[in-house]
Structure 1
Amino acid sequence: YTYKGKKYRHAKIVEGYRVGKKVRHRVLMNVGRIETEEDEKRARELLEALKKGEKPFLLKELKIERVKEFGLIYAARRYLEKIGMEAVIRKIFEKERRHFDLYKVFLYAGINRLYKPGSDNNFAEWLKEVWIDEKIELHHVYRMLDAVEKRKEEIEREIFRFLKKSKEIKTDLVFYDLTSTYFESSSSALAKYGYSRDEKQGKKQIVIGVILCDGLPIAHYVFEGNTVDKRTLKQTVEDLKKRFNLRRIVFVADRGIITVENLKELEENEYDYILATKRRNERLVRKLMTKPIEGSEKVCVKEVYREGNRRYILCMNKEVRKEELENLKKLRKELERFLAENKDKKDLKMKAYKKFGRAVRFIDFTSLKIDERTWNYERKIAGRYLLVTTTEMEARKVLERYKELKEVEMFFRDLKHAVNVRPIYHRKDERIRAHVFVCVLSLLIKKLIERAAGSNAVKELRRIRVSEIRAGEEDFYFVTKLTKEQKDIFDSLKIELPLKVLKK
């Protein structure tokens, strides 16, 4: 056509059809302006595609409807299926005879903690943002939690057997530690006021104990919030022996566990142990803590005492000692200033505790002076700690094994931050226990994937998404282009790459 003296070419693809004896035409597609040979070539390609029964679309007809999470869900499902862990858990859930897929709800709940941790309502909402085949309702989530709590011991035992059989873990060394996590509000019998490791005084909490083997959680325990660390050991040791059939192990734990009764408990069960002692309580420990120790290493180690099959290993970190002595020096100045400004003894202990916490032990409230005996002992033990063990390992090896307890601390850090176990909103004890189990499962998945594909794997997999695109009346689902790093992760996991285009 001509406009203002200038000729323009537009292309339409039309189809001829008969109405009686007349031939009429209908437009199948407006191709657009034809200005170059390339435009004409494209128009003819569209014509040929239509002749073959294909359905091409113009760019302006395409609409991005939404983008959904995909990569980590896909990889976790395929990887757990490949290594055989899916079959182990499914076999247990078969006993529940639910009309929906319990395993997938459990799995997705665990993966959700690695994406967008929150309440169960938030999990149900998150599922709408995820590319999955199933429709999962909120009531499915609650039924899953009930089944998980009911089958908890069996699931843990079978996963442990699977990990052991597949040589993912060695069981000669187990690490045990506890943490706490708080509630916003709860009528649960588990929720109690107690010593808060979250520094959330005034909130009810639960205490969580975890057993790790080779950095992987094999068992966890949920205790009432006012439970003292040392009271949890007997139950844990009995469980390790009965449920996991662990007969000869080295049990590694921190100083909160150690009591005379607990040492006897471990010895009666023929468990060797490596435990940290409380530095200030027992007469023997106080005596051993001040024994001479020296060496050229950054951390000096020395066996200082043996009592029957118990060996006491004294350790001193020179850098930590220097730092602690400097902190003590600053603390002394603050304490002396406080005492000089507060001559009235009335409510002095309370004021001192609010300001200095456990450091009030340095104050002699009778004379209102620094307790020099306590002060001098603290200076002597700066940077030192004492381990007790029944193993015959060389002293430095004992220290190295004890340091691996840091893995549990890192696990707790991930439990609270990476998968956000806190705060907890459930009111039923069973649901609280199941909630914790889902969080532990989440970290097990994370650690298995990262062990196989590197510490950056989960982060990279989370970046893979699916774009839902509408073309005319049809929907298409395109996986984002994979980077080399992402392809390498799938290769390390030994699972196939996702298809570029998915079907519902």
Structure 2
Amino acid sequence: MSYKLTENQSITKGAEWINRDEVLDIFNLEYFEQRTLYRVLEIIGENYEEIIADVQDVLFEIFDFEHTDINMDWMSFILYGDKCPLGKYGYSRDHHPDKKQLTIGLSELFSPINVPIGMTVREGNVNDQIHLNDTFNQVSHRLREGSMIVLDKGANRKENLERIENSKLKFLTVRQINKSDESTWLKNFDKSMAELVDERYGVYGLKKKFPCRINYLFFSEDLYEKQIEAKLRKVERLFIEAEKIQQSIENKRKLPKKYRINNQLVECEYSYQTKLATLSESEAKNTLKKASITGREGFFCMVSNKDLTLREALAIYRQKDSIEKISNSLKNENENEIKPLRCWSDMSIYGALIVGFLAQLFISLIRFEHPELKHTSPKFIKISLMNLTLTVEYKKSGGKRHIFSNFNLLSQVILAQNQAIT
């Protein structure tokens, strides 16, 4: 843990870092070979489910958390090498579809606690809807009746929501806008008839109750402008592509390479025709706009089995970004990055992931116990701890005294209650 929260380089360098005389002395360890550290990771991995359960036992025994509402999120890690069975090709959130990956599920107690309590690992081709079963099973028995689970759209499916509800829990998630919404809500949406939920971003909302759930439809002026701008940029890009293809047709030249299949084993005859010959530039762009702009811009819809106000529903879902920050922290080289997972065994990978998870847990607990550090990033907490200086004073009697110095405001808040500041 100490290495993970300071240097945090490769496992190889981790063995070198720990095998220093000072570190071995402080932690009462003996010198060990590098391969021993890999074996330790395997042992940790073999027991990772028990470790998570023990962590949960300790957390809920020590802390009387004010609630057990949780956020759930899923992410992917690139797996370097092809020997590990966990590695599969799948939807890559890291934009590396050419590399195998594995998927991680995280559970975090909702704000203002923001402490991670669970982590599950699955193959890289397992989608969020399926992975939810493992993530839910790992933490559901820790949740009080009526607790809320906040999910993103990727894990939303009928069976998952029914399972949460059957466990006497609540849920809040985003759902896909469908044709029925277009005809009943979007087509006749009138801001003057809706509730102003967020004046800053121009968010308006409507609420529709059903026997077993409540739909919350929102329209955001800020989101509308961003989505329209993005689609207009797409229109310009498509128009330029059509122009280049039209020029190739008129000049009887080959199509630009980017529009052709570049594979010597594939034979393909191209037949292209554009509409630019019969349309003006404005007419062509209007055609593209009609195809790109659907009328759903700026709208999003949430669903829950708990009767919330529009403001509550929006605020709760927005605060889900805390678990996304934990996910980013586990990938950020300046925070608690889990180093590139190479072709180890499954158990070694589990072990490396658990170590990263526990390091993030320590940071989250520091922020939970010290509200003044609530919005301090893991990066600055780690830098503060790394800047601490340890002086070992050897006495004539043979004893030693460890003196910590070089405190700053952050490290004083974290350690002053346990250490003397010089």
Same fold by TM-score, threshold 0.5 exceeded? Answer: yes
Q: Does the C-alpha gap of structure 1 residues 422 and 487 become closer, same or farther in structure 2, counting only changes over 3 Å?
A: closer
Q: Does the C-alpha gap of structure 1 residues 136 and 248 become closer, same or farther in structure 2, counting only changes over 3 Å?
A: farther
Equivalent in the alignment of 2:209: 306
Of stretches 400-409 and 459-468 in structure 1, the one that deviates more from structure 2 is 459-468
Q: Is the 8 A contact 1:149 1:433 kept in 2?
A: yes
Q: Distance in 2 between matches of 1:458 and 1:445?
A: 11
Q: Distance in 2 between matches of 1:118 and 1:306?
A: 52
Residue identity in the other structure for 2:127? V
Q: Is the 8 A contact 1:180 1:196 kept in 2?
A: yes
- Deviations along 1:256-296, one digit per CA (max 9) or x if unpaired, are 111233222323333211101134xx333544455525337
Q: Is the 8 A contact 1:169 1:216 kept in 2?
A: no
Is 1:217–2:116 an aligned residue pair?
A: yes
Q: Does the C-alpha gap of structure 1 residues 164 and 477 become closer, same or farther in structure 2, counting only changes over 3 Å?
A: closer
Q: Distance in 2 between matches of 1:495 and 1:483?
A: 13
- Deviations along 1:428-453, one digit per CA (max 9) or x if unpaired, are 11111121111000100111123334
Q: Distance in 2 between matches of 1:434 and 1:291?
A: 54
What RMSD, in angstroms, separates the aligned Cα atoms of the two structures?
A: 3.5
Q: Say which structure is richer in strand.
A: 1
Q: Distance in 1 between matches of 2:138 and 2:356?
A: 21
Is 1:118–2:9 an aligned residue pair?
A: yes
Is 1:292–2:194 an aligned residue pair?
A: no
Residue identity in the other structure for 1:206? L
Query: Tell me, which stretches of 5 or more residues in structure 1 are unaligned?
Result: 1-109, 355-364
Equivalent in the alignment of 2:162: 264
The aligned runs of 1:339-418 (5 Å cut-off) are 339-343=242-246, 351=259, 370=287, 374-377=291-294, 380-417=295-332, 418=335
Equivalent in the alignment of 2:364: 447
Q: Distance in 2 between matches of 1:329 and 1:352?
A: 25
Deviation at 1:184, TM superposition (A): 2.2
Residue identity in the other structure for 2:53? R
The secondary structure found in structure 1 opposite 2:108 is strand
Equivalent in the alignment of 2:228: 325
Is 1:461–2:385 an aligned residue pair?
A: yes
Q: Is the 8 A contact 2:114 2:368 kept in 1?
A: no
Q: Is the 8 A contact 1:302 1:313 kept in 2?
A: yes
- Deviations along 1:283-339, one digit per CA (max 9) or x if unpaired, are 335444555253371242423422322111122332232232222222211111212
Residue identity in the other structure for 1:485? L
What TM-score comes out, normalization by structure 2 length? 0.77
The secondary structure found in structure 2 opposite 1:222 is strand
Q: Distance in 2 between matches of 1:374 and 1:265?
A: 39
Equivalent in the alignment of 1:6: none
- Deviations along 1:408-445, one digit per CA (max 9) or x if unpaired, are 11001101011221411242111111211110001001
Equivalent in the alignment of 2:265: none
Q: Does the C-alpha gap of structure 1 residues 219 and 325 become closer, same or farther in structure 2, counting only changes over 3 Å?
A: same
Deviation at 1:479, TM superposition (A): 4.1
Deviation at 1:367, TM superposition (A): 6.7
Residue identity in the other structure for 1:264? E
Match of 1:156 among 52, 66, 86: 52
Q: Is the 8 A contact 1:183 1:422 kept in 2?
A: no
Deviation at 1:160, TM superposition (A): 1.9
Deviation at 1:126, TM superposition (A): 1.7
Is 1:495–2:418 an aligned residue pair?
A: yes
The secondary structure found in structure 2 opposite 1:199 is coil
Q: Is the 8 A contact 1:299 1:315 kept in 2?
A: no
Q: Does the C-alpha gap of structure 1 residues 143 and 116 become closer, same or farther in structure 2, counting only changes over 3 Å?
A: same
Q: Does the C-alpha gap of structure 1 residues 217 and 480 become closer, same or farther in structure 2, counting only changes over 3 Å?
A: closer
What TM-score comes out, normalization by structure 1 length? 0.65
Is 1:208–2:104 an aligned residue pair?
A: yes
Equivalent in the alignment of 1:8: none
Q: Does the C-alpha gap of structure 1 residues 484 and 211 become closer, same or farther in structure 2, counting only changes over 3 Å?
A: closer
Q: Is the 8 A contact 1:293 1:302 kept in 2?
A: no
Of stretches 438-447 and 482-491 in structure 1, the one that deviates more from structure 2 is 482-491
Q: Does the C-alpha gap of structure 1 residues 284 and 116 become closer, same or farther in structure 2, counting only changes over 3 Å?
A: farther
Equivalent in the alignment of 2:125: 226
Q: Distance in 2 between matches of 1:308 and 1:426?
A: 51
Q: Distance in 1 between matches of 2:190 and 2:5?
A: 46
Deviation at 1:240, TM superposition (A): 2.9
How many pairs are equivalent? 374
Residue identity in the other structure for 1:267? E
Equivalent in the alignment of 2:349: 432
Equivalent in the alignment of 2:85: 189
Equivalent in the alignment of 1:66: none
- Deviations along 1:70-128, one digit per CA (max 9) or x if unpaired, are xxxxxxxxxxxxxxxxxxxxxxxxxxxxxxxxxxxxxxxx3322222233212111214
Deviation at 1:467, TM superposition (A): 5.0
The secondary structure found in structure 2 opposite 1:251 is strand
Q: Distance in 1 between matches of 2:405 and 2:227?
A: 52
Q: Does the C-alpha gap of structure 1 residues 277 and 461 become closer, same or farther in structure 2, counting only changes over 3 Å?
A: same
Q: Is the 8 A contact 1:177 1:254 kept in 2?
A: yes
Equivalent in the alignment of 1:485: 409
The secondary structure found in structure 2 opposite 1:219 is strand
Percent of residue pairs identical: 19
Q: Distance in 2 between matches of 1:470 and 1:240?
A: 48
Q: Does the C-alpha gap of structure 1 residues 390 and 289 become closer, same or farther in structure 2, counting only changes over 3 Å?
A: farther
Q: Distance in 2 between matches of 1:347 and 1:231?
A: 43
Deviation at 1:347, TM superposition (A): 9.5
Residue identity in the other structure for 1:462? M
Match of 1:174 among 55, 65, 70: 70
Equivalent in the alignment of 1:360: none
Equivalent in the alignment of 1:165: 61
Equivalent in the alignment of 1:53: none
